[in-house]
Amino acid sequence: MTAPKWYRRPDGAGLVFRKPPRLASWNKSTDPDQVRLREYLEDTAQLVSPQLTAGGPWALLLEVGLPAARDLVDMADLDNYAFPLATRLRNEDLVTVWCTKKHAETSRVHVAPAHETPGPGTTFTVRTTASASTTAYKEQVRSAVVDAAVIPAGAVQLQLAFVVGPQRNWLTLWKPTIDALDPLLGRTRDDRDWHPQDGRITDLGLHVAVDPSLGHDILISIAAAPAAPGMEDPA
């Protein structure tokens, strides 16, 4: 069975977004949020299209700049920034997506060739068998971290490395997997399952490898730690 693959964060300054990055929206298609989201996605697809012509495994990086008065560890969940743009740009060669947030006046996007790197020193690994749309899937993911100590208060860096079958859309696995990480992230409320304090994640790395032998199963490796000092400061 293929082991999880980890990829380096793309190097380089990237490009300044012409339209501010927007969070995923599940409102009706005519809702103003959806309209603005589509405009942002189409504009950004045009912006980065010259960088997508080389072919081969590639990486996507979003650096989300937020106002200085904004609390970086409350809401503005990074997977909800990454998902719409990754979905718009995705092809079979997209193998890693990175997303960060910090106090800055501008936001940047960067597309670059993907380069493998050794994995983090400490990881939790689980093989799931349940549909990713079910509570059973979240329970299986949580079982991998249930005995882990909660990360101390403050910003968190998280990486998830997925190994999936060739028919799987790995982008749809991000949210239910993160929802199951409340033993690491803490809960928003003690009586609410699947609502971790994921706004704490200021540095998110997501990776994928494909293994046809897995069928519908999913192998997930999880690495989480306090964010590096200064990670959220403006460049």
Return all residues near 8 (Cβ < 8 A) that are at least 6 apart: 59, 114, 115, 116, 117
Q: Hey, where are the domains in the chain?
A: 15-113, 124-226
Q: Mind listing the pLDDT tens digit for each residue in 76-132?
A: 999 999 999 999 999 999 999 999 999 999 999 999 999 999 999 999 999 999 999
pTM score over 0.85:
yes
* DSSP per-residue codes, 51-117: GG-S-SSEEEEEEEEE-TTS-TTSS--HHHHHHHHHHHH--TTEEEEEEEEEE-S--EEEEEE--B-
15-113: CATH topology: 60s Ribosomal Protein L30; Chain: A; (3.30.1330)
**Res 231: pLDDT:** 54
124-226: CATH topology: 60s Ribosomal Protein L30; Chain: A; (3.30.1330)
Q: Give how far the C-alpha of residue 40 lies from the chain's centroid of Cα atoms, to the nearest Å.
A: 19
